[in-house]
Amino acid sequence: MRQRALHSSPLKSPVKQEPADPVDIDMAIQHGRRTAPNGIHRKGHSDEFDGEEVDMSMLDDEDEESDSDDDDDYDQPIAPVVHVEVRLSDDSRVIGSVIESNLLPMLRQAYEWVPPATFVPERYWADIPILGRNVAQIYIAECDASVEAVTADFRIHTYRASDRPVTHITGGLDEDEDDSRTSAATICELPSRLHEGLWDSLVYPDDIKEKLLTYIHSTSLFAENEVDFNVISWNRLILLYGPPGTGKTSLCRALAQKLSIRMSETYSRGQLVEINSHSLFSKWFSESGKLVQKLFDDVTDLAEDDECLVVVMIDEVESLTAARLGAMNGNEPSDALRVVNALLTQLDKLKSRKNVLVMTTSNLAGSIDSAFVDRADIKQYVGLPPVAAIYWILSSCLQALGDADLAPGAKHLLKWSDCILARGVLPLSEKKRVNRAREASYKLREIAERCHELELSGRFLRKVPVMAHARYLAGRAGGRASLDRWMEALGKAVEDERLARELVNQAEGKHSVKSKPQA
């Protein structure tokens, strides 16, 4: 290799020389000249090579250009990423690469611009033999609003959805105890049909879902590239907190489902372990800490399978992590302190496992032990839905009713971005049903604004259509109603809830007055 490099040099052909004498090297240094053993001498900014001087600035410039080229590799424009989730049929045995090779040409031919959050119509791919025989559905997930199909970087994720029922991990240290029949946790195989579509049904401000996905991607990337865990530390622990009914538990389940699909190339299967925090408190003194350890031993057994993604969810984690300060002050039993210590110890053990993620929720963040909060990589507040999210939730409910032929015309409801525009003169060319849907959309926006004023949670919002139908529409034409009547019924149901809450607040106020000691 050296001989070849020398002959390719633009310099004169070198003459073989003996290595420089050490004394000559010292003398050269004293005279401001550095001499290398191979006969190359550096003098100031020039080199002597077999009697020929070479400007070293040229070589230095080449090194800098090489480094610059390496940096430029990371500065190249990145193609927009489009995630496509492909659910295979139950009897399919085809590998993902075969699906991808048949799917990519179809997507680029079918779409000029990629629509986000869209199911690809079956007519587009059913006639392609390999897809028609093996695919159950194709879903284009999140992507930018305007992505050209020819330039998109399609990421194809193939998976099979499990319909197996959940299994239970029972509590109790002794199998003969009555407590052993208490479910300490449930295990759901992922991806699960039970959680299909859950991710898209959750609407939050500030891109909460995308932030969580990005965090998981970063930690997985660090782990795969064996970043020194002692230098850069992460615990794979997420804390979601906020008022009740904001979808924290549903978000944990949806994230677990999404990860099992997106990481299917790394993990061939997944398990969602939902821990019942209240069941881990034993009726026997000092046994609660041991119950926590026993449960996490079962989690560790699942994590021994490197091809299995294990997502642990602890709902209402404040039940397990009551502040230790109260225990140390004598306000809380010492058994509660043992539970906190046991949980922290088990979490520290799990953080070294690449295939484990722990997600926790809390309605009372102030009651959580500070040591637990400090361990959480992400502490995400999940608040009540904004007006846009409320509108989306209610409109999606109406569209589901439209699919069931209970709310004809609901599919024509406007998107929020169109609905916030001022009302104008409707074009005469539009169909009458579309005109009605437009007017209904404006009414639905007003209902959403009213729900936001009343601080209604996402959990309650999905109950509103049932309440509206039961109270105001059930006796009409087999339960079917026009969009106008649906809007009227929804508005009344929301006002009914306002009155009901006022009565509850008044009752609580009267109760507190009665219980107040007399002066």
**What is the block-wise mean pLDDT of the chain (519 residues), using blocks of 10 residues?**
39 41 42 42 42 50 55 67 95 94 96 93 96 97 83 95 91 55 87 94 87 90 84 91 94 97 93 89 71 91 95 91 62 70 90 93 89 93 93 95 93 85 52 76 96 94 96 85 95 96 82 42
pLDDT of residue 369: 86
> Is 185 exposed, middle or buried, given 0-12, 13-18 or 19+ CB atoms closer than 10 A?
buried
Structural domain contains residue 512: no
Do 408 and 483 lie in a common domain? yes
pLDDT of residue 63: 54
The domain boundary, picked from 102, 127, 159, lies at 159
Amino acid type, 14 = P
Sheet containing 135-140, strands listed edge to edge, beginning at the edge strand earlier in sequence: 118-119, 135-140, 81-88, 153-159
Structural domain contains residue 308: yes
Neighbour count for residue 388 (Cβ, 10 Å): 18
Neighbour count for residue 159 (Cβ, 10 Å): 20
Do 97 and 67 lie in a common domain? no
List, in sequence order, every beta strand (DSSP E) within 305-377. 308-314, 356-362
Do 368 and 437 lie in a common domain? no
Do 271 and 290 lie in a common domain? yes
Structural domain harbouring 37: 2-75
The domain boundary, picked from 381, 405, 420, lies at 381
pLDDT of residue 34: 41
Bridge partners of 75, per DSSP, are: none
Residue 250: partners with Cβ closer than 8 Å, 6 or more residues away: 198, 201, 202
Do 266 and 364 lie in a common domain? yes
Structural domain contains residue 167: no
Q: What are phi and psi of 457, to 5 degrees?
A: -80, 165
- Domain count for the chain: 4
- Which residue, 7, 1, 15, is CA-closest to 49? 15
- 């959680």: which residue's tokens? 195
Distance (Å, rounded) from C-alpha 414 to C-alpha 446? 13
Phi-psi region of 172 (alpha: psi -120 to 50; beta: other; left: phi over 0): left
Do 15 and 36 lie in a common domain? yes
Distance (Å, rounded) from C-alpha 161 to C-alpha 488? 39
Distance (Å, rounded) from C-alpha 239 to C-alpha 49? 65
Do 480 and 406 lie in a common domain? yes
Do 68 and 86 lie in a common domain? no
Helices 248-262, 208-224: crossing angle, 10 deg rounding: 40
Structural domain contains residue 514: no
CATH of residue 209? 3.40.50.300
Do 196 and 121 lie in a common domain? no
Structural domain contains residue 297: yes
Structural domain contains residue 377: yes
Structural domain contains residue 246: yes
pLDDT of residue 277: 84
Do 400 and 348 lie in a common domain? no
The domain boundary, picked from 381, 408, 432, lies at 381
Do 122 and 55 lie in a common domain? no
pLDDT of residue 19: 44
Amino acid type, 102 = N
Do 216 and 235 lie in a common domain? yes
Structural domain contains residue 519: no
Distance (Å, rounded) from C-alpha 96 to C-alpha 265? 9
Amino acid type, 433 = R
Neighbour count for residue 357 (Cβ, 10 Å): 23
CB 276 within 8 A of CB 313: no
